[in-house]
């Protein structure tokens, strides 16, 4: 009996100890995830959405991420950013980057929203009736008045793409941010109207600007350069876009198709 009690006591003792370990493990995980969430909200949510639903940046609430198949790849992207995109490098410590990566993976455990629409119908609309090639490029084909769309499916969420089609002026694409403000060449598609001293009017998007000069690309894809002293008028239409809304031009199904097509664009495949 004594032996049984002792054994039982031992068993209970072990059991309690095991519970404690699990509890403290769960608490540690929870605290760690919480820290990841706090960091994510501070650093990432402005572009990727508070729930990873995407926005200016791509959706992160996915079971697998196209650019970050492994956790190490994900941490590397957070640490080093993505050159040429709006994704900046992070100054956070390795530990904090790991917390953020864990939280991003946690977001990926949430149910995925299915994207309606037909990709091939969307492609036809893009190439034909939509007139998108008049201002955008895919794989270097088209005009460069608006952003390149070769890998737009990696860079923008479906909801953002839909918004861009319905309300192009809701968010003007731009690469200017505190993270890359030292780039001399901005790509922020600022709509500009100007008049020269000899009476010629120009309309387009800004290519570059300094205190004394400005360069624009007109809607024919031609680049013009001016010294500001040569101008009688210079208007920067902040918040405006030459892109029309497709709300009335397309049906809801056609918008779905176009979103599905744009979402499928994940970059040129390099031939080996």
Partner 1 sequence: MNPCTFSRSLPVPLLFAISVAAVGDILASEPEVSYERIRSSNTEPGNWLTYSGQYNGHRHSSLSQINTGNVFQLKPAWVYQSREAGKIETSPLVIGDVMYITEKPHIVTALDTRTGRPLWCYRRPPAEGVPACCGPVNRGLAVLEDALYHLTFDAKLLALDLQSGRLRWEVSVADYRDGYSCTVAPLAVKDKIIVGISGGEFGIRGFLDAYDARTGERAWRFYTVPGPGDPAFGTYEGDSWMTGGAPTWVTGTFDPELNMLYWGTGNPSPDYNGDLRKGDNLYSCSLLALDPDTGKLRWHFQHTPHDTRDWASCQVPVLVDAQVDGVPRKLVVQANRNGFYYVHDRVTGAFVRGVPFIPQTWAKGLDAAGRPIPAPHSEPTPEGNLIYPGLSGATNWFSPSYDAANGLFYVQAQEEYGMYYYKMEAAYSPGRNFEAGGTRPVAGEEPFTIVKALDVTTGTLRWQFRMEGEARGGIVSTAGGLLFTGNAEGAFFALDAVTGKPLWHFQTGGQIWANPITYLSGGKQQVAIAAGQGIFVFELP
Can you give the binding site for partner 1, defined by CB under 8 A? 38-39, 41-43, 46-47, 56, 91, 93, 171-172, 174, 176-179, 181-182, 184, 188, 209-213
Question: From CA 55, how far away is CA 164, in angstroms rounded?
Answer: 11
Do 192 and 203 form a contact (C-beta atoms < 8 A)? yes
CB 109 to partner 1: min, Å: 23
Measured from the CB atom, the residue of 45 and 59 that comes closer to partner 1 is 45
The pair phi, psi for residue 231, each rounded to 5°, is -105, 145
CB 222 to partner 1: min, Å: 22
CB 68 to partner 1: min, Å: 21
Measured from the CB atom, the residue of 178 and 199 that comes closer to partner 1 is 178
Measured from the CB atom, the residue of 35 and 148 that comes closer to partner 1 is 35
Measured from the CB atom, the residue of 77 and 260 that comes closer to partner 1 is 77
Closest by CA to 113, choosing from 171, 74, 162, 78, is: 162
CB 32 to partner 1: min, Å: 13
Chain-centroid distance, C-alpha 37: 19
What is the dihedral sign for C-alpha 227, 228, 234, 240? positive
CB 6 to partner 1: min, Å: 45
H or E element at residue 223: strand 223-227
Question: From CA 150, how far away is CA 264, in angstroms rounded?
Answer: 10
Inter-CA distances, 90 with 1, 93, 100, 271, Å? 63, 8, 11, 31
Closest by CA to 100, choosing from 53, 43, 143, 139, is: 43
Measured from the CB atom, the residue of 188 and 222 that comes closer to partner 1 is 188
Bridge partners (DSSP) of residue 224 are 216
CB 260 to partner 1: min, Å: 27
**Eight-class DSSP state of 68:** B
Measured from the CB atom, the residue of 96 and 124 that comes closer to partner 1 is 96
């Amino acid at each position: 009996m004594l032996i049984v009690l002792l054994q039982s006591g031992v068993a209970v003792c072990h059991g309690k100890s095991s519970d404690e370990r699990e509890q403290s493990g769960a608490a540690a995980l929870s605290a760690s995830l919480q820290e990841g969430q706090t960091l994510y909200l501070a650093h990432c949510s402005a572009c990727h959405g508070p729930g990873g639903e995407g926005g200016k940046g791509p959706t992160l609430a996915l079971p697998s991420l196209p650019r970050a198949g492994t956790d190490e790849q994900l941490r590397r992207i957070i640490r080093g950013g993505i050159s040429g995109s709006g994704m900046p490098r992070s100054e956070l410590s390795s530990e904090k980057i790991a917390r953020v990566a864990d939280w991003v993976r946690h977001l990926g455990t949430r149910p995925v929203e299915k994207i309606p629409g037909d990709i091939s119908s969307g492609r036809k609309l893009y190439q034909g009736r939509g007139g998108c090639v008049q201002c955008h490029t895919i794989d270097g084909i088209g005009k460069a008045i608006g952003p390149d769309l070769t890998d737009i499916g990696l860079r923008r969420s479906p909801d953002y793409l839909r918004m861009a089609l319905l309300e192009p002026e809701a968010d003007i694409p731009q690469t200017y941010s505190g993270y890359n403000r030292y780039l001399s060449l901005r790509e922020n598609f600022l709509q500009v109207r100007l008049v020269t001293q000899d009476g010629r009017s120009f309309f387009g998007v800004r290519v570059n600007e300094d205190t004394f000069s400005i360069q624009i690309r007109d809607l024919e894809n031609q680049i013009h350069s001016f010294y500001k002293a040569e101008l009688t008028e210079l208007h920067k239409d902040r918040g405006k876009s030459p892109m029309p809304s497709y709300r009335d031009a397309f049906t809801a199904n056609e918008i779905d198709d176009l979103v599905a097509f744009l979402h499928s664009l994940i970059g040129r495949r390099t031939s080996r």
